[in-house]
Amino acid sequence: MVVNCEEVWREISNYLDDEISPDLRAAMEEHFRGCHKCSAVLDGTRNVIGLYEDDRMFEPPQGFSQRLHQRLEQNMPRNRRGFLGWMVAAAAAVLVAGGFELASSAASRQPELRSEHAQPGVGVPAGLMVVVAEDGKTFHVAGCGFIHDKAKLRSITASEASREGYAPCVRCMKKYLNESARYDSHDGDDVWEFAGSGEPISK
């Protein structure tokens, strides 16, 4: 099988996507070896694809994620709690958080963990954005499937989370935790989902 330049240009995209027959592929490869123009087109096309697939191409504007979450929040049905319920919960959370802040600043620099068996988040990058639930015990990376709390979630840095007494989730933060911490720090937060009990184990 022999192909000319025009046939090569027609199939060059399918060639890159491996959407052609082995025969045609072999013929095109043969053609590229002898045709400078077509091999330049092939290289250039490949480079174009490589450049655009880079994640940095279209950066969202600053604050995009926060605004998106705000918009979602405004549109989310509050089926479990009314507005008043959220206000009460939020006020309680502020009090609890304030309490921890006071306790930790008064007693020592080591924060009081929300779960007595948890390990502090040593090894987790301080600036890492994590998600916490107001009355949860652990902090998670966004998207972790083990965030079980029904209370409102918020995003803070790992160091803020640690200051507030949250411990790292042993699942999603495991790459930051050392081997011993990974197995010792089990505070029960993470097993209930697999056990299928339907409710978190409360302390």
Partner 1 sequence: MPEEATSLEDRADKLNEEMLIRRIRDGEHELFYDLIRPYERRVYSTAFAILRNEADAEDVAQEAVLKAFKHIRQFRAEARFSTWLISITVNEARMRRRKEHVEIMQPIVDHQDEEGNYTPRDFADWREIPSETLERSEVRQKLAEALASLGQKYREVFVLRDMQHLSIEETAKALGVSTASVKTRLLRARLMLRDLLAPGLGGNWSSRLSFAKGTKPW
Q: Which part of the chain contacts partner 1 (CB under 8 A), choosing from 39-47, 100-108, 110-118, 180-188?
A: 39-47
Under the binding rule (CB under 8 A), the answer on residue 22 touching partner 1 is no
The distance of closest approach from Cβ of residue 165 to partner 1 in the complex, given in angstroms and rounded to an integer, is 21
Of residues 136-155, which lie at the interface with partner 1 (CB under 8 A)?
142-145, 147, 150, 152-153
Instruction: Show the beta-strand stretches assigned E in the chain.
Output: 129-133, 138-140, 153-157, 167-168
C-alpha to C-alpha distance for 172 and 142, rounded to whole angstroms = 9
- Number of neighbouring beta carbons within 10 Å of residue 75: 7
Token pair for 28: 């095109």
Under the binding rule (CB under 8 A), the answer on residue 128 touching partner 1 is no
C-alpha to C-alpha distance for 79 and 19, rounded to whole angstroms = 49
DSSP 8-state assignment for residue 156: E
The distance of closest approach from Cβ of residue 188 to partner 1 in the complex, given in angstroms and rounded to an integer, is 18
Amino acid in the structure at residue 191: V
The distance of closest approach from Cβ of residue 39 to partner 1 in the complex, given in angstroms and rounded to an integer, is 9
Place of tokens 């199939």: 11
Place of tokens 């046939």: 7
User: Which residue number, 15 or 100, has a Cβ lying nearer to partner 1?
Assistant: 15
In the complex, which residues of this chain contact partner 1 (CB under 8 A)?
Answer: 6, 9-10, 12-14, 16-17, 19, 36-37, 40-41, 43-58, 60-61, 64-65, 67-69, 71-72, 75-77, 79-80, 131, 142-145, 147, 150, 152-153, 171, 193
